Structure 1
Amino acid sequence: MSTVQPVILGEMPSLSKLYVNAAAQAARRRLLGTHDAADLPAAGHEVRDVTVDVANLTAYQHLVGETASDVLPAGFLHALAFPVAMSVMNRDDFPLPLLGMIHLRNTVEQRAPVLFTDVLDIAASVAHLRGHRAGTQIDVIAEVRLSGASLPCWRGVSTYLAKGVFLPGIDKPTAPVQRQDFTAPDPTGVWQLGVDTGRAYAAVSGDFNPIHLSALSAKALGMRRSIAHGMYLASRALADVGPVRGDSFTWDVAFDAPVFLPSRVALEINTAQDAAGSWKRSDFVAWHPRTGRRHFSGSVSGL
């Protein structure tokens, strides 16, 4: 990537190995107390000549409700780049603990369509280490380019929070948090999510984080039940916006509260048009239909 020196990896990192290493790293840090630096890695990671498995793409499209197409969905590209992003956060010089990170926000620019036949280069780095009232947050930046190209077709920025981790030299925000009141509107759709939703998304994304897989594995990490992957929920909302979004768009999602499985999720999508009557933007919000608690919200806008 342009702002860091890339380390070229020989193959796509294994998420299962990364999670095991993260657990070992967390144990070492608890023992040695190494949360004492606020410096980010000077290097990013890159994997070149990545190809897509068609069966996996088809399974992903079916799971999130995307129309069958030769074009890779934006959420699929996030999942494709996720192991590279995770490998940067798994470095010994990464200052925050990988396990327990909370996904706060995701912003994607889909600048051009990517076909399943394209050969891709995928790069990731971290930036903008900053304070949060509950800990420290950071941006993880991933880019997907056509092999050998200089500019990305897809760019994603994921913001994560290391709750309870306060690094020296990183100031906590002093301004009060402005919380917007939320009143649940009439839904345009309701999703019924089974207890196996996390395992189904893990099978197509490779993200086998234990908090998503079963009540037993989630309880071992302090959760009362397993929770749905945030990017599964966001990708399903994007699919519900539909092909009206075209091939180039920005996709922004903010996560408020986890979806415990099994669950029902209510969703509202509002679409705005320009003066000529063409699609301009779709806003979406999802909440628990019984309690009215908001799970996430976001928008899709044309570039």
Structure 2
Amino acid sequence: MVPASYGVTELDRLPRLGGLFAKGAAGSVTKRPKGAVRLPEVSYRVAGVDTSGEAAHLAAYQDLLGEPASDVLPAGFLHVLAFPLATAVMVRPDFPLPLLGMVHLRNVARVLRPVRLGEALEVRAWAQDVRGHRRGVQVDLVAEVLVGGELAYQGVSTYLAKGFTAPGAAAPGEPADDGTRPEWTAPLPTARWTLGGGTGRAYGAVSGDLNPIHTSALGAKAFGFPRAIAHGMYTAARALAEVGPALRGDRYEWTVEFFRPVLLPSTVDVAIRPAGDGLVYDGWRSGKGTRHLTGTVTPL
């Protein structure tokens, strides 16, 4: 739910990521650590988002991720639809953290009712809960999808901005990807993904996220990677597809925590197994102990 103190900015349509990334890249130059971080108290809202024209887009997404053909929009596709609005919040001049260099740490998404192709949606997005991390600050970007005024989906994406300071006393940091996580042993795999060098470009085509760290070796090298890396949400959404609609149900919570990035091309082993009332999944570099991601899918 949007915090009560936040104002609402109405947009007439969902923005396109290409222009937002260009704006974010330009704005990142001036956003440097200089005191405690304070977020803009504003949410963006787009009403009447018509999904009737999304059939080809949905089919391309399902084909790429391995989702079965259906008129139900999986959580990964809802993330794709809402992500541009959350990005619009992050590229505001008064959003204090730079878009370039932000590290995607984790996601928690909840599907509270099926969203079907052809339904009209209301999409909302805002930033909240800036807090300390031992390498900087982390912040949550929240995106919601409503149908007929009923909350159908909420996704919370947590990002790390290195070198910044949270307001007040720093909270205990979440584990960063610096080798300090508890020791982990790979379980028996239940699937193996062979990811070609064009995986980032393919997911970029269906998601709109054409960040050069995913689409070109040169772009990736500019940010310290030896070659292009897979989108984190591609790997998480592919794991969600591996679980499948029958096991996750119509209402479910889907979580993911990211560890080491997946360099392209690559082979990733995946294990999906029961845990409590749902399932847990892990993905790691085939033949190695390099863990890429872990998460859960739990029916609600």
TM-score, length of structure 2 as denominator length: 0.92
2:110 aligns with 109
| Separation in 2, partners of 1:6, 1:79 | 22
Post-superposition CA distance 1:94-144 (Å, at most 9, x none): 111111111111001100000011010110011110010111100111100
1:76–1:267 Cα change, 3 Å: same
2:147 aligns with 146
1:25–1:155 Cα change, 3 Å: same
1:35–1:79 Cα change, 3 Å: farther
Instruction: Tell me how far 1:192 sits from its aligned partner.
Output: 0.2
1:7 aligns with 9
Instruction: Tell me how far 1:218 sits from its aligned partner.
Output: 1.3
Q: Which runs of 5+ in 1 are unaligned?
A: 274-279
Q: Is 1:51 equivalent to 2:50 in the alignment?
A: yes
| Separation in 1, partners of 2:120, 2:167 | 42
Look up the SS of the partner of 2:189 in the other structure: coil
Letter in 1 for 2:207: S
Query: Runs (4+) of structure 1 moved beyond 6 Å?
Result: 174-178
2:261 aligns with 258
Instruction: Tell me how far 1:291 sits from its aligned partner.
Output: 2.0
| Separation in 1, partners of 2:240, 2:249 | 12
Post-superposition CA distance 1:167-221 (Å, at most 9, x none): 5645263799872211112211110000000000010011111110011221123
2:203 aligns with 201
2:129 aligns with 128
2:156 aligns with 157
| Separation in 2, partners of 1:288, 1:47 | 40
Aligned length: 292
| Separation in 1, partners of 2:290, 2:15 | 36
| Separation in 1, partners of 2:58, 2:222 | 31
On the 8 A contact 1:38/1:170 being kept in 2, the answer is: no
Letter in 2 for 1:38: V
TM-score, length of structure 1 as denominator length: 0.91
Name whichever of 46-55 and 168-177 sits farther off: 168-177
On the 8 A contact 2:230/2:261 being kept in 1, the answer is: yes
Q: RMSD value over aligned CA atoms?
A: 1.9
Instruction: Tell me how far 1:253 sits from its aligned partner.
Output: 0.6
On the 8 A contact 1:38/1:169 being kept in 2, the answer is: no
| Separation in 1, partners of 2:291, 2:58 | 30
On the 8 A contact 2:134/2:174 being kept in 1, the answer is: no
On the 8 A contact 1:64/1:232 being kept in 2, the answer is: yes
Tell me the percent identity. Answer: 50
Q: Is 1:291 equivalent to 2:288 in the alignment?
A: yes
| Separation in 1, partners of 2:153, 2:99 | 24
Instruction: Tell me how far 1:50 sits from its aligned partner.
Output: 1.2
| Separation in 1, partners of 2:101, 2:283 | 23
Instruction: Tell me how far 1:223 sits from its aligned partner.
Output: 2.0
Post-superposition CA distance 1:42-62 (Å, at most 9, x none): 111111111231101000000
5 Å-filtered alignment, 1:200-279, equals 200-243=202-245, 244-272=247-275
1:97 aligns with 98
1:57–1:34 Cα change, 3 Å: same
On the 8 A contact 1:102/1:161 being kept in 2, the answer is: yes
